[in-house]
A and B are shown apart, each in its own frame.
Chain A
Amino acid sequence: CSEYQKTLKATDIGPKFKLGEELYNEGEYSKANRLFSQIVPSYRGKPQAEKLMYMYAQTQYGMKNYIASSYQFERFADSYPKSEKLEEASFLSAKSYYMRSPVFSKDQTETKVAIEKLQLFINQFPKSEYLTEASGYIQELDGKLERKAYEIAKQYNTISDYKASIKSFDNFLFAFPGSSLREDAMFYKLDASYKLAMNSVERKKQERLESAEQYYKDLMTGFTETQYVDQASKMHEDIVEELKNYSTKS
């Protein structure tokens, strides 16, 4: 430890590089990182810089400092396009972006960037050993965006804004045609339209009942064995019952 402190305070860059590399190999990332950050400017443009920048980025990654590591790996890939570590650095840069993606219920700007970066990596290295991992991440991130849109649409239903809920589920179904939440979305869209129709003013009731009936049919054709079959059929019965009022009148 005292050697580390001494080197940290010294001015020579050579010993810092050497000790930093040792610490890096031992997995002491935060210690190595402190040494590297001191000498990175001095090595700029020198031949050892390639190795240093790579290790520097790795220490950031090891410290879970993903904002820094995504940037450092990206910079490394930019500066040394001929490096043998290029593929790994590009992947770790993209993966750092993936790690930065927050829970679905918060701002997803980072998630979108991460998807973009991962896709870029896949396009650049279509035969990479990291391919499965990368595409797995993309799927997971896509899942977050789906979940976000789904939960927002569902919340509109919860707070009784049925029109906003129907519209949002429409947007959701359009934007994510392959989503695993498709069945749930179709059911809650039916649920919202059912409540909208049942609580409707007389003037618009028939029209709303009819579209609710249509959403029921959509659900049943899309998912013949839906888990929501009991609730959905109950709603359908009510809708048919209510619609009778209109067919007898005309």
Chain B
Amino acid sequence: QIGKPTGEKYTISEITVSGSSSFSEQTIVTYSGLRKGSEILIPGDEISEAIKKLWKSGLFSDIEIYIKDVHDGVASLEIHLYDLPELSDLKITGVKKGKFEEIIEENNLNEGVKVTENLITTTKNYLESKYRKEGFYTTKVNVNVIPVNDTLDKPYVNMVVAIDKGEKVKIKDINFIGNEVLSDRTLLGSMKNTKEKMFVRVWKRSKFIEDDYKTDLVSVIDTYKENGYRDARIVSDSIFVNNDKTISININVEEGEQYTFGEIDFIGNTVYTDQYLNAILRVRKGDTYNGVLLEKGIADETRPDGQDITNLYQNNGYLFSTINSVETNADGRVIDMEIRISEGKPVHFNEVSVVGNDKTNDHVIYRELRTRPGELYSKENVVRTVRELSQLGFFDAEQLTPNFNNPNPNEGTIDMEYEVVETGSSQIELQGGYGGGGFIGTLGLSFNNFSLRNLFNLESYKPLPMGDGQKLSLRLQASQFYRTYSFSFSEPWMGGKKPVQFSTSISYSNQFLYDSSTGEADTDRRFNILGVTVGLAKRLSVPDDFFTLSQAVSFQHYNLKNYSTGLFTFADGYSNSLAYTIGLTRNNTWNDPVFPLGGSNFSVSAKLSLPYSLWNGVDYEALEIERSEEEAIYNDPDASAAAQNSAYTRMGEIDQERFNWLEFYKVKFKGEWYTSIIGKLVLKPTIELGYLGAYNQARGVIPFERFYLGGDGLGSYSLDGREAIALRGYPNQSIQPVDTNGNTTDDGAAIYNKFSLELRYPITLAASAKIYALTFVEGGAAFNTFRDYNPFQLKRSAGVGLRVFMPAFGLLGIDFGYGFDPLPGQTEPNGWETHFIIGQQF
């Protein structure tokens, strides 16, 4: 192409363009980067650079640059090129119309795309392998390109993609020949993905897929290896095509002899003794030879966290260790083994870094790392760090990756880098709507990665001060009948020295009674609640470091003015609750907190008040007797109205005396397990128990702090310490205890239990939205006293539901539940209920 290989300097006098292009000459010349009047070397970089640039545009083919004329240090150039043809019309044959879009999408065969050789070949290969994987073993794909002649400016081509899928190949039968020790059934069973055609089989189809078939042949040999037939091999396998478009497979096996293990020697081990390694290997002298078990003892490919020799070394710093098993002797069907171990140096972490945290500050992340500079390498700790970082909720669990850099076997060091991708972790809730007889407005803000110290640093508002791992939430809710204000804040590492979580919350609510004469709220009759809680939670290291011990002190002040409901017998008065809560939780669920695949989560807690009645000198027994006397008068139809009124007033006084400072204890237990059944199909059983008791039986169980079973379990507006326990298939808070006389109260329960079994399957676990479907069976029961308690008198239900988790909105969900049992006081089964779940995170 280049005329004279002189490498001299020339001035470009002229650049012309030849060939065929719809672009103007000027455009092509400008694009090439060459300029009239500029000096270039010939031969030299400028010209090859220009060709490269034109190539890179992806618009031209056959690009060449000629020197037309050279004299007196002046050269004129000619750029010769053709436009690549564009795709005009695409025809696909051999598959249904519905598939066209998919094929166009996956191969980028849109109109106007430049047709290159590469595009044609990749399309052909892609489609052939796609259909082969679906069982169309004989698929042939032809891609034809036909130039369109009648075009004016640009060259166009039409493309025909002819797909001949052929027949789907089904397997009629698989015959084993030469097998004596192992039955046909055993061998067929070991072929996991290649199956005979069978009428009853629903799950696995009897398609023939070559890749699967080859893996399955290996499984057949593995089955022999597991049974001591070390020499077993497949002599030949042949596939016959039958007349009815099916195939038959004949597999010829040679079983060989059965072997046993002989001596097993460990060589090269200095850190662990032979006995110790042997215990992990689980192979003894005299055992039937089992190649698969042997491999699993050395390195279990199927379980990355399994108990094997490789992991033993990997979890204790020996990153560069290699373990090989060698058969040293196979006389008389006894195999002597040598496990050759090259331990290498124990490896310590050198640099440990985190990248990708463009919102969260370093100190929030580094304190959570379990692999730190100078520490011994441990695979287990790496895995655990990944899990715990994703549980912070600031990063996308699916994209969190540990990278190993600069491994140095001589020095025994390695660098570690955790790559994180931030997700939105703030949620905003703004609602308005009609309900409960009037307008209800809610404003909820929750920031899960807040930075308090940057509150007054305007520059950090992007859009809010973020990145210190603190949680701040504010919630205001108001309607005609009630108003609640709540604020909470928590810091996971108080003082930054130890993982002691500090949390505090303040809430205030007031409620008004409904005035039936005006239909509006009666602001003279109110119930105010003020609550303050301060708590500390500490991660424990004993018995293992999944445990958290939490303690909290809480104070509530209840103030009633002319407010009477079934709950309280004193309409005017107050009540104080000062309580200490101690809780122990153990959470080792993994990996994604929104959709755990495994692990369990237990919590047990006790909330206690002081036993005031021990020293305050009030004779509660006398009060109890007096109260029942007054109650008898109040309920006596023969008593005068004045006597009833005075009895009722006295009952209120007594109740005020009993509940001026709430005296109670409350014990709760909750356990949930996550087990993956197949892949990401997860089973989640849950058990919950709760008990509210009194130290002094005469003083009685308090009317606050009770359990309200039924419905979606979302917190009710009332802050009287009640706990809403979800039980789907029944209306909210509908499962009230029934006493021995068959009377129902609506004051909540003192005892409850609940069992639930949920099956979950993820539809997508993408960072932008995680969606999963679930089906459940559950049952719960609520009682007032231990006398009535019967854990199996359950209200049962079953149903299905869907959950959607989006970082900005939190969890949204809907459940349809069918209640099999009648509600208290009714006789018919409750039937279908629809529940909406908002914001309950997990």
* Given contact pairs A106-B362, A155-B363, A168 touches B373 in the complex (Cβ within 8 A): yes
B38 near A82: Cβ-Cβ < 8 Å: yes
Question: Which residues of chain A are near B361, meaning CB under 8 Å?
Answer: 105-106
- The complex places the Cα of A85 from the Cα of B721 at a distance, in Å, of 71
Judge whether A45 is part of the interface by a CB distance below 8 angstroms: yes
A163 touches B374 (CB 8 A): yes
Instruction: Tell me the complex Cα distance, A171–B373, Å.
Output: 9
Q: Which of A47, A151, A168 has the most CB of B within 10 A?
A: A168
Give, as a whole number of angstroms, the nearest-CB distance from B595 to chain A.
Answer: 26
Of the candidate stretches B22-30, B80-88, B605-613, the one touching chain A is B22-30
**Nearest CB in chain B: distance from A235 CB, A:** 19
Q: Which of B350-358, B441-449, B483-491, B738-746 contacts A (4 or more CB under 8 A)?
A: B350-358
B126 adjacent to chain A (CB < 8 Å): no
Shortest CB-to-CB span from A237 to chain B, Å, is 25
Interface residue ranges of A150-195 to B (CB < 8 Å):
151-152, 155-156, 158-161, 163-164, 166-168, 171
The CA-CA distance from A102 to B355 in the complex, in Å, is 13
Which one of B360, B366, B498 lies within 8 Å of A152 (CB-CB)? B366
Q: How far is the CA of A105 from the CA of B353 in the complex (A)?
A: 12
Find chain A residues with CB under 8 A from B358 CB. 102, 106-107
B467 at interface (Cβ–Cβ under 8 A)? yes
In the complex, B35 has a CB within 8 A of chain A: yes
Question: What A residues does B27 contact at CB under 8 A?
Answer: 45-46
Q: How far is the CB of A236 from chain B (nearest CB, A)?
A: 24
Contact of A156 among B28, B351, B356, B372 (CB under 8 A): B372
Q: How far is the CA of A148 from the CA of B357 in the complex (A)?
A: 13
Which of A47, A102, A148, A164 touches B372 (beta carbons < 8 Å)?
Answer: A164
Q: Which residues of B contact A248 (CB under 8 A)?
A: none
Q: Report how many A-B pairs have Cβ atoms within 8 Å.
A: 77
Closest A residue by C-beta to B31? A45
Complex Cα spacing A161 to B24, Å: 68
Interface: A109 (CB within 8 A): yes
A160 to B361, CA, bound (A): 19
Are B374 and A164 closer than 8 Å at their CB atoms?
yes
Q: Enumerate chain B residues within 8 angstroms of A102, measured Cβ to Cβ.
A: 358
CB of B14 within 8 Å of the partner chain: no
Bound together, the chains give a CA A63 to CA B498 distance in angstroms of: 44
Interface assignment of B367: CB less than 8 Å from any CB of chain A: yes
Confirm or deny: B165 has a beta carbon within 8 angstroms of a beta carbon on chain A: no
* Residue in chain B with minimal CB distance to A161: B372
Judging by beta carbons under 8 Å apart, are A159 and B498 in contact?
A: yes
Chain B contacts for A158, CB-based, 8 A: 496-497
A164 cross-chain contacts in B, Cβ below 8 A: 372-375
Q: Mark B312-356, 1 if CB is under 8 A from A, else 0.
A: 000000000000000000000000000000000000001100111
- Asked whether any CB of chain A lies closer than 8 Å to the CB of B140, the reply is no
Does any Cβ of A come within 8 Å of B384's Cβ? no
Shortest C-beta distance, A162 to chain B (Å), equals: 10
Expressed in whole angstroms, the Cα–Cα distance for A106 and B364 within the complex equals 10
- The answer for the CA separation of A94 and B481 in the assembled complex, in Å, is 61
Inter-subunit contact B372/A105 (CB<8 Å) = no
Chain A CB within 8 A of B359 CB: yes
Residue of B nearest to A45 (CB): B27
A49 to B29, CA, bound (A): 14
> Nearest Cβ distance between residue B464 and chain A, in whole angstroms?
15
Alpha-carbon distance between A106 and B372 when the two chains are bound, in angstroms = 18
- List the B residue with the shortest CB-CB distance to A169: B373
Q: Could you tell me the distance in whole angstroms from the C-beta of A102 to the nearest C-beta in chain B?
A: 6
A160 CA to B541 CA in the complex, in Å? Answer: 15
Complex Cα–Cα for A168 and B375 (A): 11
Count residues on chain B whose CB falls below 8 Å from chain A CBs. 33
B26 with A163: CB separation less than 8 A? no
B463 to chain A, nearest CB (A): 16
Bound-complex Cα distance A152 to B366 (A) = 7
Question: Which one of A81, A166, A171 has the highest number of Cβ atoms from chain B below 10 Å of its Cβ?
Answer: A171
A168 contacts across to B, CB distance below 8 A: 373-374
Can you list, as one digit per residue, whether each of B28-41 has a CB less than 8 Å from chain A (1) or not (0)?
10110101001000
Measured in the bound complex, the distance between the Cα atoms of B497 and A18 in whole Å is 62
Q: Which residues of A contact B38 (CB under 8 A)?
A: 82
Say yes or no: A163-B375 contact (C-beta < 8 A), given A45-B30, A155-B366: yes
B459, closest chain A residue (CB): A103
A47 neighbours in B (Cβ, 8 Å): 26, 30
What is the distance, in angstroms, from A173's C-beta to the closest C-beta of chain B? 13
Q: Please measure, in the bound complex, the distance between the C-alpha atom of A45 and the C-alpha atom of B498, giving whole angstroms.
A: 62
In the bound assembly, the distance between CA atoms of A106 and B493 in angstroms comes to 19
CB-CB under 8 A from A166, the residues of chain B are 374
* Bound: A124/B362 CA distance, A: 35
B355:A109 contact, CB within 8 angstroms: yes
Q: Do A167 and B373 touch (CB < 8 A)?
A: yes
**A138 to nearest B CB, angstroms?**
21
Given the interface contacts A45-B23, A47-B30, does A82 sit within 8 Å of B362 by beta carbon?
A: no
**Shortest Cβ distance from B355 into A: residue:** A107
Q: Evaluate whether A159 and B497 lie within 8 angstroms (CB atoms) in the complex, with A106-B357, A106-B362 already known.
A: yes
Chain B residues lying within 8 Å of A107, measured Cβ to Cβ, are 354-358
CA gap between A167 and B373 in the complex, in Å? 6
Of chain A, the residue at the smallest CB distance from B357 is A107
Contact in complex: A171, B351 (CB < 8 Å) = yes
Q: Within residues 229 to 266 of chain B, which ones have a CB less than 8 A from any CB in chain A?
A: none
A149 to chain B, nearest CB (A): 9
Q: Bound state CA distance, A158 and B494, in angstroms?
A: 12
- Most chain A CB within a 10 A radius of its CB, from B23, B366, B497: B366
Residues of A contacting B351 in the complex (Cβ-Cβ under 8 angstroms)? 171
Chain B residues within 8 Å of A167, by CB: 350, 372-374
Contact with A along B283-302 (1 / 0, CB 8 A): 00000000000000000000
Whole-angstrom distance between the alpha carbons of A106 and B33 in the complex? 40
Closest to A110 in B: B358
- Given A107-B356, A171-B351 in contact, is the A155-B367 Cβ separation under 8 Å? yes
Q: Mark A91-124, 1 if CB is under 8 A from B, else 0.
A: 0000000000010011111000000000000000
**A106, B373: Cβ atoms under 8 Å?**
no
List the B side residues contacting A148 at CB < 8 Å: 362
Per the bound structure, the CA–CA distance linking A192 and B493 in Å amounts to: 20
Complex contacts, A152 vs chain B, CB 8 Å:
362-363, 366
Q: Which residues of B in the span 514-536 have a Cβ within 8 Å of any Cβ on A?
A: none
- Which of A46, A102, A108, A152 has most chain B Cβ within 10 Å? A152
Separation of A74 and B358 alpha carbons in the complex (Å): 24
Instruction: Using CB atoms, name the residue of chain B closest to A104.
Output: B362
B26 / chain A contacts, CB cutoff of 8 Å: 45-47
Cα distance, A49 to B33, chains bound together (Å): 13
Q: How far is the CB of B240 from chain A (nearest CB, A)?
A: 59
A159–B35 CA distance with the chains assembled, in angstroms: 64
Interface digits, B364-392 against A, CB 8 Å rule (1 contact, 0 not)?
Answer: 00110000111100000000000000000
Which A residues are in CB contact (< 8 Å) with B373? 156, 164, 167-168, 171
**Nearest chain B residue, comparing its CB with the CB of A166:** B374
Residue of B367, B374, B467 touching A106 (CB-CB under 8 A) = B467
Tell me, in angstroms, the Cα distance from A82 to B12 when the chains sit together.
15
**Chain B residue nearest in CB terms to A109:** B355
Q: A151-B363, A152-B362 are in contact. Are A82 and B374 (CB under 8 A)?
A: no
**Minimum CB distance partner of A162 in chain B:** B374
List of A residues within 8 angstroms of B375 by Cβ = 163-164
Distance in Å: Cβ of A67 to nearest Cβ of chain B: 12
Looking at B351, B374, B493, the one whose CB has the most chain A CB atoms below 10 A away is B374
Q: Beyond the given A49-B30, A159-B493, A168-B373, could you list 4 further A-B residue pairs with CB under 8 A, ordered by the A residue number?
A: A45-B24, A45-B28, A156-B372, A163-B374
Top 3 nearest A-B pairs (CB, nearest first) are A167-B374, A164-B372, A45-B27
A selection of 24 A-B contacts at a CB cut-off of 8 Å is A45-B23, A45-B27, A46-B30, A47-B30, A82-B38, A105-B361, A105-B362, A106-B358, A107-B354, A108-B355, A109-B356, A151-B362, A152-B362, A152-B366, A155-B363, A155-B366, A158-B496, A159-B367, A163-B375, A164-B375, A167-B350, A167-B374, A168-B373, A171-B350
Interface residues of A (CB under 8 A from B): 45-47, 49, 81-82, 102, 105-109, 148, 151-152, 155-156, 158-161, 163-164, 166-168, 171
